[in-house]
Amino acid sequence: MASVVLHGNLSIDIFDPATTEWKRWLQRFLAAIKIFKVPVDQQILYLLHYVGSSAFDVICNKMAPADPYAVPFEELVANLAEFYAPEPLEIAENFRFYQRKQKDGESVKDFVAALHKLSVHCNFGLYLKTALQNQLVFGLSSHRGQSRLLESKDLTFDKAVQVATAMELSEKDSRQLQSGTAVVEYVGSKDRRAEKKGPRKKKSVQEKSAKEKNETNKTNVGKNHVSQSGTYANTNISCYRCGKNHLASKCTLDRNIKCNFCGTPGHLRKVCMGAKRASANQVEEVLTVEHWEHRNKFFKTLAVDGKPLRFEIDSGTAVSIVTKEGTQIRVEKLLQRYRKELDPGLTKIRGLQASLVTKENAKPIFLKARTVPFKLLPLVEQELQTLVKDGILEKVNTSRWATPIVPVLKKNNRVRLCGDFSVTINPNLLIDEHPLPTIDELFASMAGGTKFTKIDLQQAYLQLEVRKEDRELLTLSTHKGLFRSTRLMYGIASAPAIWQREIENILGDIRFS
């Protein structure tokens, strides 16, 4: 074996799998042997030396009975990588990435760095920036910063990091300003505490004469004597917690003690601002209103001398306060005005009918009604009467198809009548195929939005009418006889795709829907 020559000051940290990734450490090692020009035949010696005793034992056991010093360099690296850096599972890495939230005390920069690290093996590709942006917004611990990012338009990952970092710094500085103690100095008050601090020194004759001279120039102002020589700290300080002559930060009053007047912990009644205002019969500020999303100005274009000019409407305030009673009266008037349009009944969607297509040579299936629990019988009968009254069900005497009902008890002490179509019509249907949006797609479509509206349709399927020629397929078999459905029923295999397609067509022209 050729003699080993130490090259300069080649020295890197010993590989520690607990604190360093194998790939990162190997990059530094390869760079070091390249910088110091280590010969090829000595690179194995340096590698086995700097991997440390733990990794050396691993490679010896893994390659036994072969001598690791006689194995090629590339094979050594490959075996160590196989042990310390196995190929991760992409699904598991994606799960860890989407589960990552900002921890308590963790800065935004550290959180972003952690997201970058977790995304290495997620194989996001071109979707990387969007995934980092979304997870930064979802995982941010600051609700204020999260709200600001959600209301930002054209949000990008770099902009999101910049905004979140700036808000974090502003909150930190604001807390320091609020918790900091300011020392106020006044001209004319003598700091007696300063006289008590420090050892006493003998004054020279010149100092004494200067003092006597200053004593003759003193002017009596109130209780404090003002000297020409300087300014002194004010001793007339009143603690806003207990009222004594010291700073609130030095107060020893229990922070949990409650005021006998307002009930707020942290101060006594004698210094309570509410008690002082009440005794003086003063009007106090009871509410501060601030809504940044409603601070847009109102403009109106008017014709002045035949020319259109844009004027700003000066309302006097960006946000107005209205009484609860007045708001309720206005709402009741609106409900009364549009009562016909707000019919709580299950009205059908006009101009739309769902169609069900059966397979060729499909044979009709008729099943008898199943026994309904006695406790649910009154509820089932009441629901049947309601659906017949609303025109959703119609009574028939005969039918080639019949499906038994499955009553589902709801929280409002009512039942939802579903059909067990899995044993009748579903196996004989040509099921509609229409993609349903995923959670990620829904969140992506809402990115940058500031106002969100939700439409909740009561028993949505029952609002979509079915073609007359297909209604026999939806006949229900009950203890009260046969009922043919005129609307799309729960339990139909094609119902989700049909409903999704039709609702997208209805809302397709609405922006950001």
Question: Predicted confidence band at 293 (pLDDT cuts at 50, 70, 90)?
Answer: low
Alpha carbon distance 30, 11 (integer Å): 12
Q: Which residue has the higher pLDDT, 395 or 199?
A: 395
In the chain, what are the domain boundaries?
22-85, 90-178, 374-444+459-506
| pLDDT at 396 (0 to 100) | 92
- 26, 43, 114, 116: which is closest to 78 by C-alpha? 26
Given pLDDT bands bounded at 50, 70 and 90, which one contains residue 393? very high
Between the CA atoms of 86, 92, 94 and 97, what dihedral angle is there, to the nearest 10 degrees?
Answer: -90
**Architecture of the 374-444+459-506 domain:** Roll (3.10)
Comparing 28-32, 224-228, 397-401, which segment has the lowest mean pLDDT?
Answer: 224-228
Q: What is the pLDDT of residue 475?
A: 93
Which has the minimum average pLDDT: 179-188, 361-370, 457-466?
179-188
Taking residues 370-389, report their average pLDDT.
Answer: 90
pLDDT value at residue 74: 87
Q: Is 474 exposed, middle or buried (0-12, 13-18, 19+ CB in 10 A)?
A: buried
Provide the mean pLDDT of the chain.
Answer: 79
pLDDT in tens, 77-112: 888 888 887 777 788 888 888 899 999 889 999 999
- Please write the tens of the pLDDT for every residue from 55-76: 888 888 888 888 888 888 888 8
337 or 473, higher pLDDT = 473
Mean pLDDT of 449-454: 81
494-513 residue pLDDT tens: 888 888 888 888 887 776 55
When pLDDT is cut at 50, 70 and 90, the band that residue 291 belongs to is: low
Q: What is the mean pLDDT of residues 389-413?
A: 89
Model confidence pLDDT, tens digit, residues 205-257: 444 444 444 444 444 444 444 444 444 445 568 888 888 888 888 888 888 88
Q: What are phi and psi of 22, to 5 degrees?
A: -65, -45
Asked if residue 232 lies in contact with residue 257, where contact means CB atoms within 8 angstroms, the answer is no
Tell me the C-alpha distance between 261 and 268, whole Å. 9
Kindly indicate the confidence band of residue 340, based on its pLDDT and cuts at 50, 70 and 90.
low
Given a cut of 80, whether residue 14 has pLDDT beyond it is yes
| Residue in the block written with tokens 């006493």 | 200
Q: How confident is the model at residue 297 (pLDDT cuts 50, 70, 90)?
A: confident
Q: Which pLDDT does position 3 carry in this prediction?
A: 45
How many C-beta atoms lie closer than 10 Å to residue 168's C-beta?
20
pLDDT surpasses 80 at 367: yes
Is residue 51 over pLDDT 80? yes
Q: What is the CA radius of gyration of the chain?
A: 40
Instruction: Name the nearest CA neighbour of 413 among 461, 449, 378.
Output: 378
pLDDT of 188 > 60? The answer is no
Q: What is the pLDDT of residues 423-434, one digit of tens each?
A: 999 999 988 888
Specify the pLDDT at position 221. Answer: 40
